[in-house]
Structure 1
């Protein structure tokens, strides 16, 4: 008789996470706790239930398939179950009684709609902080069941104070900055079940379902009435808990791979506190130019006033970079245009088209003068040049040149500060326009934001941003085109660049001599 291989959770985090009856459990412990193992263990309890199915999400497919990743981990566990059959091409396991466990990605915001009409009894998110709040809420609406298993959600994550998940678990984390435990999970609150409803994209919390109902009574009653009584108030209220943990709970890992703990101790002090200690107030993004939460506000700061009209444009004719036009009214981004590979005539015509449509004087057009952008000056009379590596501008108050290595760094730092002060607004019209087949402008801005970081102070003590080649490392090799055009708006706020008295006439004319002259120049530049 062959030996029986028992599969069970370890005491500590794993046992707590797998014992909770809450509708939603988020495991937000430190690295090495065994969060992913617990996630994979969760659906096994239902593999004998006819009609049961589970989906486990990672943000991208490579994260699932990578060596030692989620798919490999599932194989180590599920192959021990009699009758379990893997289907690697579809990333799913099928069990004898029919239940399936599928692994899938949600790389782009639009991928959530791939699950429209789905009925998923158990939804799991590995690394919840990698997903957007709207993805989570949409999939919550797909969390349905007719197989007899009450629908529920399980998720894991590492601490990330800049993510929306930090707000979700706030009650479970010490928020007092004067406490020695600031940012760490509050031990006595781990596993405590709370309740919430989502009203107008905001979570409303309470210690009991009735407390939540009273806070959302008008909203919930309206929905109950509209359903003709087919749904009840409690159907809008979810139970929730958060469970932290420590690598020291994971005895099996420490036995098999004791060097992992040593590797964590090699991290910087901040990263060690975050990943080893499980602290939710230590940011891994301390060198970001744009604060995560404040940058999200640019899409809701509708109070930002209209103002003088401007165009900022980042020009690209060849390669993978995009040609970007941003149209501004004050610091309201009111429209934008993106074009892939383009020729010189298309660039000039498109800039003039937007200038005419929005009554932007040519003197209020700012173009990137590096590389091929330099041809613009000869064809849009009075347009202003932005030189990325150019001389820094003097401070408006002191008149002294500021302490940056070049103009691009100066404008990025000023832009980040202005965003933190709430000075920018991206209109809904502009935000929802498509950047490409997979992203809107809103999504692209949020994606590129993380690539704009402070660089090391140079030998002269000057502030700088990291080089573009390093920014591309955060963007799968792509250029931060929209953030460049966004940053350039700050140029107009320096007194030295005041264009309020300028008024170069707008013309849509573009004759054959212009085209011939432009082509000659482009041949020379190339």
Structure 2
């Protein structure tokens, strides 16, 4: 089998590598810390089938450059595959071919449209190196190409470093500690590593269960309909995949530590956040430095019981039937003393609830701030004296300098100020409020923590003005949903500006618009 008489044994190391390579799951995701040997085990995977003539595997990276990088995926494959007798590589097409005719290809999916390059393909083994770099759409489409006529049951193997902002983080959440109060929050749960769960994809949604039968009962209508269309040729098992997740640690990779001991030192030199993610394998620590809200400081808003009470305000983000979630925040200083939400609300319900909350908490209408963008515009005629929050309006003047702050609009200004205030420990949401339902799936606490990852700094514009990323970009982090909880939370910062100065600005703005109307 080998090119010379010297026998060299290639085998996985105990720990992550052996666990990943011995799993019977249809889909295995290795998502541990950096240096666990995830790519090595990925490259070993197809070798068990290279004696089968028609076997084919494809290993994807997002770009060809990432495959060809010095010491990257292609170079790593050479260190393993060229040791096998009669193996041949083709640099131009990034392909390995073995004596039986079995093939392993390396390819990219740089753009979503690249998935259609694989129409009609049959790939017994599909591998993703750094799965978090790929979109959910890419993964699901390639799942449809995962089929085989060579005798090897089709399956998928993937690796990645932790990325809490990716769709993968939601996909593997059962295997990761999701309790913000736990000391192991964001870390893989040891007893769940390698445990199989089952999933079916229906209307682009993942339906999970502990057994295939449990998933089938949840998707029975969809699956039975497809079986009937196939006239019974396919079985329900073909719609339900077994999945597992396996974390890993650089400390399990003894070979790496022997050959490159400085690698561990390099990981320890990273920032606290990067160490948590890359060395600790934490799936709740953002890899991006553009978060408005620091992760740890954001969790403090639920324990900062020292925050004093003060003047009462209401901030409300308006939504009507068919749009986002309508929310009402009741503040005493920067303590959140009550919260209300309503899905699929009607105009009269919105008005009635805002007034009811104001009466309940003895809050004057002039201390109500409502989002005046979109559907919120009708509020002004029904709650006299309530203040308007216009997301896209000019930033407000600094209380000390009286000059406008350097933001491209009010929404960005308040989000940046909100982030600074949270990071300084100025907010508190007590347990009885945090545990209130936001919707049918999450409490307010859970929703706020979930949305935090979507609020990010954008690059300064040509004038150097600061802004948050656009709403559509935020939705990409939230599966298409809007940050309804944090929008209402952020609006509290509006009250920190000189209210009289704000009134003058809006008064002049209204007079100016009236004069323009008269002129026209």
Query: Among 216, 221, 232, which residue is 2:224 paired with?
Result: 221
Which runs of structure 1 show a deviation greater than 3 angstroms over 4 or more consecutive aligned residues?
289-292, 300-307, 329-332, 399-405, 413-418, 449-452, 465-471, 493-505
- Mark the runs of 5 or more structure 1 residues left unpaired by the alignment: 293-297, 308-328, 333-365, 368-383, 387-391, 419-448, 454-464, 472-478, 484-489, 506-526
CA contact 1:28–1:158 (8 Å) conserved in 2: yes
**Cα distance in 1, alignment partners of residues 67 and 222 from structure 2:** 39
Written as runs of structure 1 = structure 2, the 5 A alignment for 1:479-518 is 496=505, 502=513
Given the alignment of the two structures, is residue 94 of structure 1 paired with residue 87 of structure 2, yes or no?
no
| Match in the other structure for 1:128 | 131
Written as runs of structure 1 = structure 2, the 5 A alignment for 1:453-492 is 453=457, 467=460
Q: Give CA deviations for 1:191-235 in whole Å, capped at 9, x if unaligned.
A: 011111111211111111101101111121111112221211111
Given the alignment of the two structures, is residue 233 of structure 1 paired with residue 236 of structure 2, yes or no?
yes
Flag the 1:470–1:46 CA change in 2: closer, same or farther, 3 A.
farther
Aligned length: 376
**Cα distance in 1, alignment partners of residues 118 and 417 from structure 2:** 39
TM-score by length of 2: 0.63
* 3-state DSSP of counterpart to 1:90: coil
| Match in the other structure for 1:14 | 17
Given the alignment of the two structures, is residue 243 of structure 1 paired with residue 239 of structure 2, yes or no?
no
| Match in the other structure for 1:446 | none
Shift of 1:115: 1.1
**Cα distance in 1, alignment partners of residues 118 and 161 from structure 2:** 26
* 3-state DSSP of counterpart to 1:407: coil
Given the alignment of the two structures, is residue 407 of structure 1 paired with residue 410 of structure 2, yes or no?
no
Shift of 1:42: 0.5
Shift of 1:182: 1.5
Written as runs of structure 1 = structure 2, the 5 A alignment for 1:33-432 is 33-285=36-288, 287-289=290-292, 302-303=323-324, 330-331=373-374, 392-394=395-397, 405-408=405-408, 411-414=411-414
Shift of 1:121: 0.6
Shift of 1:302: 3.6
Shift of 1:400: 8.0
Q: Give CA deviations for 1:43-90 in whole Å, capped at 9, x if unaligned.
A: 111111111111111111111111111111111111111111111111
Shift of 1:285: 2.9
* 3-state DSSP of counterpart to 1:408: coil
**Cα distance in 2, alignment partners of residues 451 and 102 from structure 1:** 38
**Cα distance in 1, alignment partners of residues 90 and 463 from structure 2:** 38
Flag the 1:415–1:180 CA change in 2: closer, same or farther, 3 A.
closer
**Cα distance in 2, alignment partners of residues 162 and 404 from structure 1:** 33
Flag the 1:271–1:76 CA change in 2: closer, same or farther, 3 A.
same
Q: Give CA deviations for 1:252-298 in whole Å, capped at 9, x if unaligned.
A: 10110000001001011221111111111111236324999xxxxx9
Given the alignment of the two structures, is residue 24 of structure 1 paired with residue 27 of structure 2, yes or no?
yes
Query: Among 1, 6, 9, which residue is 1:3 paired with?
Result: 6
Flag the 1:301–1:166 CA change in 2: closer, same or farther, 3 A.
farther
Flag the 1:303–1:416 CA change in 2: closer, same or farther, 3 A.
farther
**Cα distance in 1, alignment partners of residues 83 and 167 from structure 2:** 37
**Cα distance in 1, alignment partners of residues 236 and 272 from structure 2:** 47
Flag the 1:153–1:291 CA change in 2: closer, same or farther, 3 A.
farther
- Mark the runs of 5 or more structure 2 residues left unpaired by the alignment: 296-318, 327-345, 348-371, 376-390, 419-452, 474-489, 495-501
**Cα distance in 2, alignment partners of residues 120 and 470 from structure 1:** 50
Flag the 1:80–1:268 CA change in 2: closer, same or farther, 3 A.
same
CA contact 2:175–2:189 (8 Å) conserved in 1: yes
Q: What is the CA RMSD across the aligned residues, in angstroms?
A: 4.4
**Cα distance in 1, alignment partners of residues 322 and 249 from structure 2:** 40
Flag the 1:153–1:290 CA change in 2: closer, same or farther, 3 A.
farther
CA contact 2:293–2:455 (8 Å) conserved in 1: no
**Cα distance in 1, alignment partners of residues 106 and 287 from structure 2:** 28
* 3-state DSSP of counterpart to 1:22: coil
